[in-house]
Amino acid sequence: DAKTTQPPSMDCAEGRAANLPCNHSTISGNEYVYWYRQIHSQGPQYIIHGLKNNETNEMASLIITEDRKSSTLILPHATLRDTAVYYCIASLYNNNDMRFGAGTRLTVKP
Amino acid sequence: NAGVTQTPKFRILKIGQSMTLQCAQDMNHNYMYWYRQDPGMGLKLIYYSVGAGITDKGEVPNGYNVSRSTTEDFPLRLELAAPSQTSVYFCASSQSPGTSGRDTQYFGPGTRLTVL
């Protein structure tokens, strides 16, 4: 897996968009960008993934730069329940050893 | 579907004791994984399995053993517990590569283990 770099913590006001950055400057052409989150001490939860194009699902949007060296996870209307640690992972599609780093601790404040 | 279940939720072991952490999934997933998470850190892969009878080491396999006799179950065995194995253990499962669900690993609620 390519190394990813994320800020250790971020705050966001409830109802506003949360934009979580991730740097993956050494990503290879066939590595996907995955995002998971971990709420309190629960098991991680898959959010979204992408290769080149921007992706959107019911939880979030993923914006990947054209050179693929960085990406941003967007939670469009953050709620208090979105407070969690967010992990950005660059990994091959069929890789069984996804490396979860320290992630970004997002705190959504009222 | 119950998803991925893990037992026990909590356990305290003495140094040198043995135990088995249980993991089961009812989604008919071929792939199963064991991770550990130390306080304030990310997850590290211990072992994984791509199907019944097939297992392989992850990043931190020392001190652990696994077996996969059925698709549903993937127990993790600690033979001689050490304080360094104090951690939260997560089991996960996913579909095989090439299927639509391969993108997603489904995690269990975790087992919090303390070795004293």
Contact at CB, A96 and B35, closer than 8 angstroms:
no
Contact by Cβ (8 Å): A89, A3: no
Q: What is the rounded distance in angstroms from the CA atom of residue A60 to the CA atom of residue A77?
A: 9
Nearest Cα residue to B45 out of B115, B100, B107: B107
pLDDT tens for residues B46-70? 999 989 999 999 999 999 999 999 9
The two structure tokens encoding residue A14: 């409830």
**A105 lies within 8 A of chain B by CB:** no
Nearest Cα residue to A1 out of A104, A69, A97, A94: A97
Q: Which residue of A has its CA nearest to B9?
A: A42
Report the Cα–Cα distance between both ends of chain A, in Å, rounded. 36
Q: What is the pLDDT of residue B97?
A: 61
Q: What is the rounded distance in angstroms from the CA atom of residue A45 to the CA atom of residue B109?
A: 11
**A35 lies within 8 A of chain B by CB:** no
Helix (H, G, I), strand (E, B) or coil at A79: coil
Q: Of A42-51, B28-37, B92-101, give the lowest mean pLDDT range.
A: B92-101
Residues in chain B with CB shorter than 8 Å from the CB of A101 are 42
Q: Which residue of A has its CA nearest to B92?
A: A43
Mean pLDDT along residues B80-96: 93
Contact at CB, B105 and A102, closer than 8 angstroms:
no
The two structure tokens encoding residue A40: 């309190």
Report the residue from A34, A93, A101 with minimal CB separation from B97: A93
Q: What is the rounded distance in angstroms from the CA atom of residue B112 to the CA atom of residue B7?
A: 10
